[in-house]
C-alpha cells in the first residue's frame, strides 16, 4: 500500500462526506479528532479502495455511529 494512494482515498472520502453532511472543514476536523476517521480509512484502505465512495462513506457513518454509542454508554456509567 502506498501512502499517496491512502491519502488520495482519504481526501476523496472526506470531501464527499463533508458534502453529504453539509460540514465545514473545521467541523470535520473535530469529528476526526474525536473518532479517528482518517485513521479508520487508512486501516481499511485495502477493502475500501475497491468499495466505491458511497460504500466507504456508509462504512464511516456506521463507524461514527458505533463510536458515539460507545461514548454514550461510557458516560452513562
Mean pLDDT (the chain) is 93
Higher pLDDT, 54 or 73: 54
The C-alpha cell at 63 is: 463507524
pLDDT above 70 covers what percent of the chain?
A: 99
The fraction of the chain above a pLDDT of 90, given in percent, is 84
- pLDDT tens digits, one per residue of 22-57: 999 999 999 999 999 999 999 999 999 899 999 999
Cβ 41 vs Cβ 6: under 8 Å? yes
Amino acid at each position: 500500500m502506498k501512502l499517496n494512494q491512502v491519502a488520495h482515498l482519504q481526501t476523496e472520502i472526506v470531501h464527499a462526506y463533508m458534502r453529504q453532511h453539509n460540514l465545514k472543514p473545521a467541523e470535520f476536523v473535530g469529528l476526526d479528532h474525536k473518532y479517528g476517521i482518517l485513521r479508520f480509512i487508512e486501516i481499511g484502505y485495502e477493502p475500501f479502495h475497491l468499495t466505491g465512495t458511497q460504500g466507504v462513506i456508509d462504512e464511516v457513518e456506521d463507524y461514527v455511529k458505533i463510536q458515539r454509542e460507545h461514548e454514550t454508554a461510557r458516560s452513562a456509567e
